[in-house]
Structure 1
Amino acid sequence: MKFRYGTFSYLPDLTDGEIAAQVKYALDNGWPVSVEYSDDPHPRNIYWEMWGLPMFDLAEPDGVLAQINECRAAYPGHYVRVLAYDAQLGRQSTALSFLVQRPAAEPGFVLERQDGPDRTQRYSVKSYATTGPAGARYAGE
């Protein structure tokens, strides 16, 4: 099963041409774009490592694609995503986020149940990948 994260997560993996089209859409809307990577895709891990600085004042997606390819080459076994920020009205919020790379093998998640007093039950999600050390959680690194 593939990890589902961000926009387009239920579609097949995007080609470089499709990625360029989405980056162009973001740039046409005036949204700065950044590239991030992580080896821990837990849904609550919203702070991934930044690859360079956010790219402002671009008109064409070529610069972003170059950064994506550099990040892919440096971290072939990590998740890589593209974020586009909407800074309208003085607020910064994510307008678009999608994966552009995923590891070849995705171990998935386990749902752990904890029984408490008065028959209460709590659940937590844990990635199978976190059993390995940070930076070496996926095969092929």
Structure 2
Amino acid sequence: MRITQGAFSFLPDLTDEQITKQVQYCIDNGWAVNIEYTDDPHPRNTYWEMWGHPMFDIADAAGIMMELNACRKAHGDLYIRLSAFDSTSGWESVKLSFIVNRPASEPGFRLRRQETEGRTIRYSTEGYSNDRPEGERYTR
């Protein structure tokens, strides 16, 4: 199962050249870019680990791509996403976010169905790999 989150989620994975163009678009718009990684890509897990600090005032996408490659080298077996933030409104708003790295195997999620009072049915999702401890969910 392929995890689909953020922009471009239903497209094939972007090449580094395409990622560089998206990063340069963010820079040209004055957005700060950050890199995050996780082994728990559940849609409600908004707290991914941050790689370094958000990158403000970078004029060239090459600097961000260098950091992305360093993150891939350290965490290439995890999900890595790139996010761009706009602070022109006085607060940080996510303008663009997309996955730039995936583990070799993506086990995905199961849908849990629970019948409750009356005819009410509740659904929840659970990752197939959540039974493994953090840091060991996508080991090769």
TM-score bracket, shorter-length normalisation: over 0.9
Q: CA deviation at 1:119?
A: 2.1
Residue 74 (structure 1) aligned with residue 37 (structure 2): no
Find the aligned partners of 2:8 and 2:45 in 1 and give their Cα distance: 19
User: For residue 16 of structure 1, what is the aligned residue in structure 2?
Assistant: 16
Q: In structure 1, list runs of 5 or more residues that go unmatched.
A: none
Residue 130 (structure 1) aligned with residue 140 (structure 2): no
Residue 39 (structure 1) aligned with residue 47 (structure 2): no
Q: Which amino acid counterpart does residue 22 of structure 1 have in structure 2? A: Q
User: For residue 117 of structure 2, what is the aligned residue in structure 1?
Assistant: 117
Q: CA deviation at 1:139?
A: 3.1
What count of residue pairs does the alignment treat as equivalent? 140
Q: CA deviation at 1:6?
A: 0.5
Q: Which amino acid counterpart does residue 135 of structure 2 have in structure 1? A: G
SS at match of 2:52: strand
User: For residue 25 of structure 2, what is the aligned residue in structure 1?
Assistant: 25
SS at match of 2:89: helix
Find the aligned partners of 1:55 and 1:41 in 2 and give their Cα distance: 23
SS at match of 2:37: strand
User: For residue 108 of structure 1, what is the aligned residue in structure 2?
Assistant: 108
User: For residue 83 of structure 1, what is the aligned residue in structure 2?
Assistant: 83
Alpha-carbon displacement from aligned partner over 1:98-132 (angstroms, at most 9, x marks no partner): 11100110001000011111121111011111111
SS at match of 1:90: coil
Instruction: Give RMSD over aligned pairs.
Output: 0.8
**Greater mean alpha carbon deviation, residues 50-59 or residues 116-125:** 116-125
Runs of 4+ in 1 over 2 A off after TM superposition: none
Find the aligned partners of 1:89 and 1:82 in 2 and give their Cα distance: 21
Find the aligned partners of 2:85 and 2:115 in 1 and give their Cα distance: 41
Q: Identical aligned pairs, as a percentage?
A: 53
Q: Which amino acid counterpart does residue 117 of structure 1 have in structure 2? A: E
Q: CA deviation at 1:60?
A: 0.3
SS at match of 2:26: helix
